[in-house]
Amino acid sequence: MARALGPRKIHRYSNEFKVTAVNAGVMFLVVAVRTSRQDIPKGTITVTVHNGANRISTPVETISLSELTNLDGTIVIATKSYANKAIAQELKDKAVTGPVVIMQNGVGVEKPFLDAHFSPIYRCVLYVTSQATSEYNFTVRPITSSPIGIVNGNESDLKKCVEDLTTDGFPFRSEANIQREIWKKAIANSVFNSICPLLEVDNGVFVRDEETANLAREVVRECVTLTDRLNMGLSEGELMEQIMRISKASDGQLISTLQDIKIGRQTEIEFLNLEIARVAASMQPGLHLPRVELLGKMILAKSLQQRRKEP
């Protein structure tokens, strides 16, 4: 993904719903999930990593999931999380048993794969920002190594997944307490994926503007009341430090939710602000997170308005 992969081949999807099937050491295959077309066009993808010093172009091929008859390697789920239920059912119907690496942001995104009885399942928390500059051209900025941890499975298989997926420009690491990392990143996403699209600004706004950073702090403070109940051991200071670090490292980059809204695509806000608010409300006694929930509802409304405009 971020470097020349020697004997491995890279294939890419042509629509927004995708599953990446990785047969370690042999090939990377990208599969279009919600299509039965057999005439999906081939093309070339170009990825510019970090500061532009590392630029990779490679021919890509797309295959429809309906045409895929054999998946015997690691399955990396890298699509938008709202497609997970459909993906899990399709893979179950094809008698795929995993291992599955869910490379997504959000709370509870692994549930469809647990319900489908996949094993082993691993969660990856991505610390990377990306932006499409055209249909087949992307910029990628890794913030730090992305942790992968066990939902169900064992440490030796986890170690192999990490080794297979890691590249020089896109590093991964094993993480024993993946739930803490999931919530830590989900809270950061609940800030970036709500405030930035509503203001229609890039990720760097929090290091540039004190008032916007203070709004982020209010959202974080609400979330900490929930994570304290969940015994996550997350503090306001730690979360704000992460938000400011990401903001500085991705200055000028547009958050994925803003990119999605601009092109009339469904967002993942229901697995971020709205899921965090739902979990809080389900506690006994219930917690109300008014800022988190309101920002999520505003993003959902903005997305729906834009999608009604798009063909």
User: Is residue 10 over pLDDT 70?
Assistant: no
Please indicate, yes or no, whether residues 262 and 197 belong to a single structural domain of this protein: yes
Of 120, 147, 176, the one marking the end of a domain is: 176
Residue-wise pLDDT tens digits, 89-133: 888 888 887 689 999 989 999 999 999 999 899 999 988 777 777
Long-range Cβ contact pairs of 288-293 (< 8 A, separation 24 or more): 289/222, 289/223, 289/225, 289/226, 290/222, 291/218, 291/219, 291/222, 292/190, 292/219, 292/222, 292/223
**Which residues contact residue 222 at a Cβ distance below 8 angstroms, ignoring those fewer than 6 apart?**
289, 290, 291, 292
Residue 256 one-letter amino acid: S
Neighbours of 297 (CB within 10 A): 15
Answer yes or no: do 142 and 26 share one domain. yes
Cβ neighbours of residue 85 closer than 8 Å, sequence gap 6 or more: 112
Query: Whole domain around residue 205: which residue ranges?
Result: 180-309
CA 186 to chain centre: 10
Please write the tens of the pLDDT for every residue from 182-210: 999 999 999 999 999 999 999 999 999 99
For the segment 12-16, the average pLDDT, to the nearest whole number, is: 32
For the record, the structure tokens of 72 come out as 């015997």
At 8, the pLDDT band (50, 70, 90 cuts) reads very low
- Please check whether residues 25 and 156 belong to one and the same domain: yes
Question: In the structure encoding, which two tokens stand for residue 295, read together?
Answer: 């920002």
CATH number at residue 61: 3.40.50.720
In this predicted structure, the answer to whether residue 26 has a pLDDT above a threshold of 60 is no
Instruction: Please count the structural domains in the chain.
Output: 2
Q: What pLDDT does residue 61 have?
A: 66
Q: Is the pLDDT of residue 11 over 50?
A: no
The verdict on residue 3 lying in a domain is: no
Cβ count within 10 A of residue 170: 18
52 and 161 belong to one structural domain? yes
H and E: helices and strands count for the chain: 10, 12
Give dist(CA 243, CA 95) in Å, integer: 41
CATH number at residue 278: 1.10.1040.10
pTM, two decimals, is 0.81
pLDDT of res. 143: 77
Tell me, what's the pLDDT at 282? 97
Give mean pLDDT, residues 167-183. 91
Q: Is the pLDDT of residue 5 over 70?
A: no
Name which residue leads in pLDDT, 109 or 9. 109
Q: Are 22 and 164 in contact (CB under 8 A)?
A: yes
Give me the mean pLDDT over the 46-55 stretch. 69
Mean pLDDT over residues 223-230, rounded? 98
The last residue of a domain, from among 176, 194, 211: 176
